[in-house]
Amino acid sequence: MENLKQMTDDMLVSLYLKGNNTAFDILLNRHQDRLFNYIYFIVRSKEVAEDIFQETFVKAIVTLQQGRYTNDGKFAAWITRIAHNLVIDQFRTERNENLVSNDETEVDLFNDAKFSEGNIENRMVNDQVLKDVRMLVDELPDCQREVVFMRYYQDLSFKEIADITGVSINTALGRMRYAVLNMRRIAAEKSISLAME
């Protein structure tokens, strides 16, 4: 089992296709937190995120068993792309049913040690700034919020973002640019200062 954990994603996929179910369990464990957080950040509903997360891995299993996966070292991007497509389908379904999900559950995705250095006063200022930034990010259009999340919370390159979302690198860069401009505009409209002393 330890030996399997050292293998690359594509090696695990190959083993799974040869009948080793433990290899798929390792893939699931390896990617589940990042993938669930990505889905949840966009859909903002734990129940919907759990459904999409499960459906993502069911689709992945079916696709793998049908031999339609290409071992190219991009399993994480591939599985995220499946999740992305399911999220888009979910939004289409909600819009068609005229449902709007406005889950009030607050998730502190900014709770990261790199933001909390310094004394208590700095931490309090940082916490307020991060709360303000989260509020600004929440007001962005879905495609811009998604790019901000992938870039700053998943630390993905714009090439990876483009691959996952199925757009060109220029489009991904453009969405980030518009996200920053929109956040500045919203901050100005709401008189929010994001400068940390």
Residues 6+ apart with CB under 8 A from 99: none
Contacts of 82 (CB under 8 A, 6+ apart): 56, 59, 60, 63
pLDDT at site 107 = 45
Asked whether 133 and 153 are in contact (CB, 8 A), the reply is no
Domains with residue ranges and CATH for the chain:
2-96 (1.10.1740.10), 113-189 (1.10.10.10)
For the chain, give the mean pLDDT: 80
pLDDT in tens, 162-171: 999 999 988 9
pTM for this model (two decimals): 0.59
User: Following DSSP, what letter does each residue of 143-177 receive, concatenated?
Assistant: HHHHHHHHHHTS---HHHHHHHHTS-HHHHHHHHH
Band of pLDDT at residue 111, cut at 50, 70 and 90:
very low
**Residue 99's pLDDT band (cuts 50, 70, 90):** very low
